[in-house]
């Protein structure tokens, strides 16, 4: 009898045409990746420029971009492809309570891999939830809805958002190290190991290009609209402090 026809041989030989486990498939489209990195840059620029009043033009510009990108992401999740929707986060959020309940079940085998995924998803949700109060308090203070107490609230939300971002990055690095797999790859190249043919059929590079052009165009417009541009000017701080002093005196 030919050995290749035995059941044992069939069990150890991969079937003809089986997908390669190391094959990389497209899992994240271009607009999602473009949003992710523009969103990150806007937050970093806004946070760094928020400590000095003479960087106010840069800070406000980054804040507008930060909020505008959040609106874009919400619309893209609603109107875009299935892969860009909030459904994956919603499914993970629904799995938090059953996962926690598994700790109390006698003899239960806790799925720590699922717990890692839930923690990573939670850090993403935390960042997104903080966008609205962060942007609103920043705009409110800039538009002088209230006094300096609103600035302190805005700075508090900024600090909490920074910790949420750091936790997200830390979890991403930790999970990548534990699993020995780069989990940042989908946001870098759009591809992931084991993605098969990839659920992404249209990469929508044109939309990512439009998004980048819109952000750069807004920065240019803000630069032209500001009398001194977006870079710091010592005169801006004197004028800014004087205006607030007059308002406080009134």
pLDDT score at 170 = 93
pLDDT in tens, 60-93: 999 999 999 999 999 999 988 887 888 877 777 7
pTM over 0.85: no
- Name every residue whose Cβ is closer than 8 Å to that of residue 146 and which is 6 or more positions away in sequence: 140
The closest of 59, 49, 45, 47 to 156, measured between CA atoms, is 47
pLDDT in tens, 137-157: 999 998 889 888 999 999 999
pLDDT score at 44 = 96
pLDDT score at 74 = 94
pLDDT score at 6 = 42
Compute, in degrees rounded to 10, the torsion defined by CA atoms 44, 149, 249, 52. -20
47/150 Cα distance (integer angstroms): 16
More confident residue, 93 or 161: 161
Q: Is the per-residue pLDDT at 32 higher than 80?
A: yes
pLDDT score at 16 = 43
Question: What three-state secondary structure class fits 22?
Answer: coil
CA angle, 96 then 100 then 104, to 5°: 160
pLDDT score at 95 = 76
Question: What three-state secondary structure class fits 17?
Answer: coil
Is residue 120 within 8 Å of 171, Cβ to Cβ? yes
Query: Which region among 27-31, 75-79, 184-188, 203-207 has the lowest average model confidence (pLDDT)?
Result: 184-188
131/73 Cα distance (integer angstroms): 12
pLDDT confidence tier of residue 204, bands split at 50, 70 and 90: confident
Is residue 188 within 8 Å of 36, Cβ to Cβ? no
């Amino acid at each position: 009898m030919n050995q290749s026809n035995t059941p044992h041989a069939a069990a150890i030989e991969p079937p003809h045409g089986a997908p390669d486990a190391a094959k990389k498939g497209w899992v994240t489209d271009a607009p999602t990746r473009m949003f992710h990195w523009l969103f990150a840059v806007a937050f970093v620029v806004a946070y760094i420029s928020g400590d000095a009043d003479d960087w106010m033009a840069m800070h406000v510009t980054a804040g507008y971009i930060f909020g505008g990108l959040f609106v874009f992401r919400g619309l893209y999740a609603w109107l875009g492809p299935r892969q860009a929707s909030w459904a994956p986060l919603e499914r993970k959020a629904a799995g938090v309570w059953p996962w926690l309940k598994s700790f109390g079940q006698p003899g239960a085998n806790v799925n720590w891999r699922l717990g890692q995924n839930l923690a990573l998803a939670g850090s993403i949700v935390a960042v997104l939830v903080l966008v609205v109060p962060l942007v609103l308090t920043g705009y409110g203070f800039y538009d002088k809805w209230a006094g300096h107490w609103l600035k302190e609230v805005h700075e508090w939300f900024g600090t909490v958002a920074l910790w949420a971002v750091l936790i997200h990055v830390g979890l991403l690095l930790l999970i990548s190290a534990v699993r020995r797999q780069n989990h940042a790859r989908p946001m870098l190249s759009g591809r992931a190991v084991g993605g098969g043919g990839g659920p992404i059929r249209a990469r929508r590079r044109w939309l990512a290009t439009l998004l980048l052009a819109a952000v750069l165009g807004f920065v240019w417009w803000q630069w032209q609209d500001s009398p001194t541009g977006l870079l710091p000017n010592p005169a801006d701080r004197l004028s800014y402090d004087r205006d607030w002093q007059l308002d406080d005196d009134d």
